[in-house]
């Protein structure tokens, strides 16, 4: 299908607005957005992607902070749709850093000539469904507009950075920055007094790296996390050849596992083997790289109960072994949530940072931050003078980026209002009253590329089905949506991801409803569900 340009006269004005017309509009040009462009163009749809960034990459464009890198294997994260791409791209590290990952996504954009369908530096201010014409109209910050039958939000699960509303936050006279908005030119930290607020996955990576150069580092920690050694390394030529020969097996494993990772759980129960055998497995996995120590463990380590607590204490003791000061060590040991109830940060020397004389750990649960001052950070107990404040305070995950788009569906219904008590979707990707809207950023947690490709395939095939059958709209029924929300809430109540105050349930954002933001199901189960729905003539949907 070819795109077109339509002119509309604005009543009461001599101005003529031009509205670009497409079959599909994609918001975002990160991992999912690029693949959405590729698939839709492949199927003959005219498509335009809009991104407020100055280049492709999404998460890997915005998160340029020191230390940012994969915690899943690089070669499991890359796209699988092109054998040529797989064979000609050489990953340099087992766990790629941000610069290499951004280069990879730029390489993909250039190889498949995707840039010609992307409009950069274009912030979407609103998206509104035109009931009469069954089309989505988006308004951009510069006043221009575009329309399409389908709207695919590929804004990313972590596109909306979050900074707590600290009193006096604008009064600080030094440099301040959220990790998501780290400037491309970097920030000169050598010889500076630096404060980092937040010790989640981002904070762990950042703190480890900048501790090597700052004059003094003050870490403000609210919640201690279970962190495990990444054990990264360069990929030598021989290993590179083995990886390229093993891609079918790598992707097969990913497709069969719960989170689309390369690792499979041990089917045995931790409590069914002897303490000696159990400890031997823990130690063996601890010496392995990446998520093996999490996702290749006894299966019941990831279930609330005795096995989970047994492994949690093993990890706590590993932390204690690495921190010289026992008081500081206990501050870094998690005691308020179960292992695996938050995503496991992987690190490369994080705990050793706290053995440095120029690093101070401040427990802001014991002494909360009262305000940001012109000189630094004031807690209940002291004021810390700083040259730089870095907010590693996380994201309004999954739904935050969607809400910021100001999406309006049928009868003037606002997505923000509909999602106020938690996401109301069918299968995580559609929502009643918002025809032809596919929220592909909000449907999964795990290895996002492995989950994104089959998800985008399903969406693009659904679009083809509508086109081939002369249909204009697809929207879920209220009944299907209600049943899905019930499933998410009831089945989600029993999984680890809902057992802690984390972004999995929106607990890191004041006022956000505390509900599971994704499906409780495994990746294979979600693919099977979508396939079944399509095979049954899009059961649970209204086709018009």
pLDDT in tens, 43-65: 999 999 999 999 999 999 999 99
At residue 2, does pLDDT exceed 60? no
pLDDT in tens, 69-90: 998 999 999 999 999 999 999 9
Flag whether 540 is in a domain.
no
Q: Give me the pLDDT at residue 17, please.
A: 67
Q: Give me the pLDDT at residue 175, please.
A: 97
Stretch 238-246: mean pLDDT, rounded? 97
Phi, psi of 515 (to 5 degrees): -145, 155
Q: Are residues 422 and 464 in the same domain?
A: yes
CATH of the domain at 45: 3.50.50.60
At residue 251, does pLDDT exceed 90? yes
Q: Are residues 204 and 269 in the same domain?
A: yes
Q: Are residues 457 and 322 in the same domain?
A: no
Name the residue among 107, 102, 79, 75 with its Cα closest to residue 91.
75
- Find the domain containing 334 and state its range: 195-391
List Cβ<8 Å contacts ≥24 apart for 326-334: 328/354, 328/361, 331/221, 331/224, 331/361, 331/363, 332/221, 332/224, 332/361, 333/224, 334/223, 334/224, 334/225, 334/226
Stretch 314-329: mean pLDDT, rounded? 98
Q: Give the percent of the chain with pLDDT over 90.
A: 88
Flag whether 49 is in a domain.
yes
Q: Which of 430, 451, 472 is the last residue of a domain?
A: 472
Which of residues 192 and 262 earns the better pLDDT score? 192
At residue 5, does pLDDT exceed 60? no
Q: Which of 439, 456, 472 is the last residue of a domain?
A: 472
374 CB-side CA count, 13 A = 0
Q: Are residues 137 and 38 in the same domain?
A: yes
Q: Per residue, what are the HEC states of 158-188?
A: CCCECCCCCCCCCCCCCEEEEHHHCCCCCCC
Q: Give me the pLDDT at residue 343, please.
A: 87
Stretch 126-140: mean pLDDT, rounded? 97
Q: Give me the pLDDT at residue 151, please.
A: 98
Stretch 365-384: mean pLDDT, rounded? 97
Q: Are residues 268 and 411 in the same domain?
A: no
pLDDT in tens, 389-435: 999 999 988 899 999 999 999 999 999 999 999 999 999 999 999 99
At residue 371, does pLDDT exceed 70? yes
Q: Give me the pLDDT at residue 10, please.
A: 36
Listed in sequence order, the residues at least 6 apart from 60 whose beta carbon sits closer than 8 Å to its beta carbon are 30, 31, 98, 101, 102, 105
Secondary structure element (H or E) that encloses residue 157, with its range: none
Stretch 496-511: mean pLDDT, rounded? 90
Q: Are residues 385 and 401 in the same domain?
A: no
At residue 238, does pLDDT exceed 70? yes
Q: Are residues 362 and 314 in the same domain?
A: yes
Flag whether 323 is in a domain.
yes
Q: Are residues 401 and 385 in the same domain?
A: no
Q: Give me the pLDDT at residue 445, please.
A: 58
| Prediction pTM value | 0.94
Q: Give me the pLDDT at residue 443, please.
A: 55
Q: Total domain count for the chain?
A: 2
Flag whether 167 is in a domain.
no
Flag whether 455 is in a domain.
yes
3-state secondary structure of 193: strand
Flag whether 515 is in a domain.
no
Q: Are 405 and 127 in contact (CB under 8 A)?
A: yes
When the pLDDT of each residue in the chain is averaged and rounded to a whole number, the result is: 93
Measure the CA–CA gap between 496 and 301, rounded to whole angstroms: 10
Name the residue among 519, 419, 436 with its Cα closest to residue 153.
436
Q: Are residues 135 and 275 in the same domain?
A: no
Which residue shows structure tokens 């299907």?
480
3-state secondary structure of 466: helix
Q: How confident is the model at residue 191 (pLDDT cuts 50, 70, 90)?
A: very high
Q: Give me the pLDDT at residue 159, please.
A: 86
Q: Which of 370, 391, 412 is the last residue of a domain?
A: 391
Listed in sequence order, the residues at least 6 apart from 390 whose beta carbon sits closer than 8 Å to its beta carbon are 65, 176, 177, 178, 179, 194, 195, 196, 197, 206, 210
Stretch 471-480: mean pLDDT, rounded? 98
Flag whether 25 is in a domain.
yes
Flag whether 65 is in a domain.
no
Q: Give me the pLDDT at residue 13, please.
A: 34
Q: Are residues 209 and 302 in the same domain?
A: yes
Measure the CA–CA gap between 166 and 52, rounded to whole angstroms: 26
């Amino acid at each position: 299908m070819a795109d077109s340009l339509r002119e509309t006269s604005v009543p009461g004005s001599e101005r003529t607005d031009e509205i670009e017309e497409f079959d599909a509009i994609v918001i975002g040009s990160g991992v999912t957005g690029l693949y959405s462009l590729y698939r839709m163009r492949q199927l003959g749809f005219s498509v335009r992607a809009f991104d407020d960034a100055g280049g492709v990459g999404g998460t890997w464009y915005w998160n340029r902070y020191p230390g940012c890198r994969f915690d899943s294997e690089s070669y499991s994260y890359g796209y699988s749709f092109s054998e040529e791409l797989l064979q000609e791209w050489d990953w340099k590290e087992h766990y790629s850093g941000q610069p290499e990952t951004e280069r990879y996504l730029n390489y993909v954009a250039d190889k498949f000539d995707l840039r010609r369908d992307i409009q950069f530096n274009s912030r979407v201010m609103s998206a509104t469904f035109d009931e009469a014409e069954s089309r989505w109209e988006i308004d951009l910050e510069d006043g221009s507009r575009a329309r399409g039958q389908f709207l695919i939000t590929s804004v990313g699960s972590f596109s909306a950075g979050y900074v707590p509303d600290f009193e006096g936050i604008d009064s600080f006279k030094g440099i301040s920055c959220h990790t998501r908005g780290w400037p491309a030119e970097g920030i000169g930290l050598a010889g500076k007094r630096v404060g980092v607020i937040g010790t989640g996955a981002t904070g762990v990576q950042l703190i480890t790296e900048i501790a090597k150069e700052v004059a003094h580092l003050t870490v403000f920690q609210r919640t201690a996390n279970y962190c495990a050694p990444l054990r990264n390394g360069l990929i030598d030529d021989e290993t590179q050849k083995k990886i390229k020969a093993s891609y079918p097996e790598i992707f097969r494993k990913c497709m069969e596992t719960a989170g689309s990772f390369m690792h499979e759980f041990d089917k045995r129960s931790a409590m069914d083997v002897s303490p000696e055998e159990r400890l031997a497995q823990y130690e063996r996995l601890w010496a392995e790289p990446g998520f093996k120590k999490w996702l290749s463990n006894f299966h019941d380590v990831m279930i609330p109960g005795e096995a989970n607590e047994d492994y949690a204490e093993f990890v706590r003791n590993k932390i204690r072994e690495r921190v010289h000061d026992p008081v500081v060590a206990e501050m870094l040991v998690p005691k308020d949530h179960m292992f695996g109830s938050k995503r496991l940060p992987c690190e490369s020397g994080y705990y050793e940072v706290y053995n440095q004389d120029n690093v101070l750990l401040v427990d802001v649960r014991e002494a909360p931050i009262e305000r940001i001052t012109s000189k630094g950070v004031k807690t209940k107990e002291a004021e810390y003078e700083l040259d730089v404040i870095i907010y590693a305070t996380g994201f309004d995950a999954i739904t935050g980026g969607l809400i910021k788009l100001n999406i309006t569906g049928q009868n003037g219904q606002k997505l923000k209002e509909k999602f106020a008590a938690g996401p109301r979707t069918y299968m995580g990707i559609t929502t009643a009253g918002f025809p032809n809207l596919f929220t592909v950023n909000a449907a999964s947690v795990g290895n996002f590329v492995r989950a994104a490709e089959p998800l985008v395939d399903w969406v693009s095939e659904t679009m083809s089905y509508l086109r081939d059958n002369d249909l204009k709209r697809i929207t879920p029924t209220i009944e299907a949506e209600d049943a899905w929300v019930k499933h998410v809430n009831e089945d989600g109540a029993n999984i680890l991801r809902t057992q802690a105050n984390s972004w999995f349930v929106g607990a890191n954002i004041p006022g956000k409803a505390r509900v599971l933001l994704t499906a409780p199901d495994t990746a294979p189960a979600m693919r099977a569900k979508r396939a079944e729905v399509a095979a049954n003539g899009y059961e649970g949907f209204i086709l018009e």
